[in-house]
Structure 1
Amino acid sequence: MRFRAATVDDWPSIWQFLREIVAAGETYTYPRDVTEETARRIWLVDPPGRVVVAVDDGVVVGSAKLNPNQLGPGSHIAGASFMVAPHAAGRGVGRRLGEHVLGLARADGYRAMQFNAVVSTNTRAVALWRSLGFTVVGRVPEAFAHPTKGYVDLLVMHRRL
């Protein structure tokens, strides 16, 4: 598996799994019926943000975006989002992508990384981020409308770099 900066030519591959993940409504706060145009605008961030892809045997199996979590005086804290193609789940793509993006954030001079909305029932993601040194610094009760579990909490997770 290798990691590289995403190009506009990668968008169709990213959109294929992003659409599936978002439509399931279990892990992202994006509208379940997000249009391709809106998703592209959300995911393909402008500099100083970055978008990377994980490629395995020539196939895009994951993507991440890295950007300042806030503007101005809060821009020294990174934010990031990650998606792994469902067909590649359980192969370590998320872990390796997370480690790669943490390295990019350090290289870009960020002092920490913060996730603003980790769905509490997304136990695989919560466990992954904890194993990579993130801690839960906040909990927003019933902030996410899960399609089968009802209203569940969103976690704010943080890690110093």
Structure 2
Amino acid sequence: MIREARDGDWPGIWPIVHDVVTEQRTFAYDPALTEPEARRLWLLEPPARVVVAVEGERVTGSANMYANRPGPGSHVASGSLMVAKEARGTGVGRALATDLVAWARRSGFAAIQFNAVVEVNTAAIRLYESLGFGTLGTAPGAFRHPDHGDVGLRIMWLDLR
């Protein structure tokens, strides 16, 4: 189930963010990110939106979504999705991504742009492509992966018009 994040959800979101960031495989965040810094980065204020995927009372994933840029770029949405280790491959990422796309459509955005999808994150790329996203380009070697060395970051786009 996907629902709006509540004040009390942070203790369930933080371990997910911490794991994803310290794995250094999918997000270009500093692995030394502190909990207060992570909270400020993740729990964005409206008009942005933050959701959680829950199984019972347990948070299994989270996403935030927002205008990609202010002013002249505010008609394009963006967002970030993270899934708990134990919930990966179970459909949580798909539920979060589908919710993000539905929110962007409801909110009147013209498109969604993901600015930095690690090119060896094949599960995310397959998911986004299955939802209609395409790759606009790749910044070669822009992400330092712990296993694969310097790999590209894709810019992925979904036109909503």
Structure 1 and Structure 2 fold alike (TM over 0.5): yes
Query: Equivalent residue for 1:97?
Result: 96
1:111 correspondence with 2:106? no
Equivalent residue of 2:137, what SS? strand
For the 8 Å contact 2:67–2:78, the answer to whether it is kept is yes
What's the CA shift for 1:29? 0.5
1:158 correspondence with 2:157? yes
Amino acid at match of 1:24: E
- Partner Cα separation in structure 2 for residue 19 and residue 103 of structure 1: 27
Structure 1 consecutive aligned stretches of length 4 or more whose deviation exceeds 3 Å: none
Query: Equivalent residue for 1:145?
Result: 144
Q: Deviations over 1:57-96 (max 9, x none)?
A: 2211110000000010100100010001111111111111
Unaligned runs of 5+ in 2: none
Query: Equivalent residue for 1:9?
Result: 8
Query: How many residue pairs are counted as aligned between the two chains?
Result: 160
- Partner Cα separation in structure 2 for residue 149 and residue 89 of structure 1: 21
Query: Equivalent residue for 1:62?
Result: 61
Percent identity, aligned pairs only, is 47
Cα RMSD of the aligned pairs, angstroms, is: 0.7
Query: Equivalent residue for 1:39?
Result: 38
- Partner Cα separation in structure 1 for residue 50 and residue 87 of structure 2: 19
